[in-house]
Amino acid sequence: MSKIGNYKFLVLRRIVQICILLLFWGTNHFGWTVLKGNLSSAKVLDRFYLADPFAVLQILATGTIVSFDIIIGVVIVVIFYGLFVGRSFCSWVCPVNIVTDMAAYLRRKGLGGNKYLKLTRSARYYIIILSLIMTVILGVAAYEIINPIGFVVRGVVFGFGIGGTLLLVIFLFDLLVLKNGFCGHLCPVGGLYSLISRYRLLKVRLDNDKCSSCMDCKVVCPEVQVLGIVGKKSGNISQGECTNCGRCIEVCEDKALRFKLF
């Protein structure tokens, strides 16, 4: 396999992630009308809205009735990710992923710290519950105030403030404290996408007859637990936590892994 072919999904993901940021930025600076707003809620082509399900869930938890535009926006997002492409938001859209992937890469190169912290990957689901409890008690969307995705996208579109340092905190946390710490353990936005992505159409499929059990895929996978079947039996990677990033497919020398639609 050629060197470029080894990174085709990675390159494609970075292009998609940066283009989306660029569209948000350009809309604000040059008056484009393609993608107005940010990842909390965006107006597409000046026609309809998209909305982040977790942000809307928190708004509902404050006891506020959301508008029809926003309900439609959430339904579109939930159907697109939940039924079709799964948790692809995390690896194809979210800009924090660029930073945490970088930290994971440096870790593999031996620059990172040890695993100082032992944390269950279910922590994100507890954080979802905690966010909603706090939202009900405090009367304001609790996670949206510390959401690093919000800080990054607002930073790119409207200018970075002190909140931009949160990105550095996440980078250092992932690099020095816990491997795949933020995206793979803590982030409740990714957690919610995981919860709705179980029955998606786009999945990674393993052909065990070709697999030589080299475990290269497990080295790069940000959610290793989803690759439990590798070296054991053929099948789909069906867990909702899989972000469909395609890194496992790229690194597989045996071509035992591929995307499958059904």
68: region left, alpha or beta (phi > 0 left; psi from -120 to 50 alpha): alpha
- Based on CB atoms, which residue is closest to another protein, 18 or 133? 133
* Burial (Cβ within 10 Å: 0-12, 13-18, ≥19) of residue 129: exposed
What residue type is 182 in one-letter code? F
Sign of CA dihedral 116, 142, 92, 30: negative
Query: How does DSSP classify residue 85?
Result: I
What is the nearest approach in angstroms of another protein to the Cβ of residue 71?
10
What is the nearest approach in angstroms of another protein to the Cβ of residue 241?
20
- Binding footprint of another protein, residue count (CB under 8 A): 47
CA distances, 142 to each of 18, 147, 170 (Å): 28, 9, 19
Check binding of 132 to another protein (CB under 8 A).
no
Whether 95 contacts 66, CB under 8 Å: no
Check binding of 170 to another protein (CB under 8 A).
no
Check binding of 201 to another protein (CB under 8 A).
no
Out of 110, 162, 209, 262, the residue judged to bind another protein by CB under 8 A: 162
Out of 21, 77, 96, 141, the residue judged to bind another protein by CB under 8 A: 141
- The binding site for another protein (CB under 8 A) comprises 27-28, 36-38, 40-43, 49, 51-52, 55-56, 59, 62-64, 66-67, 69-70, 73, 126-127, 129-130, 133-134, 137-142, 144-146, 150-151, 154, 157-159, 161-163
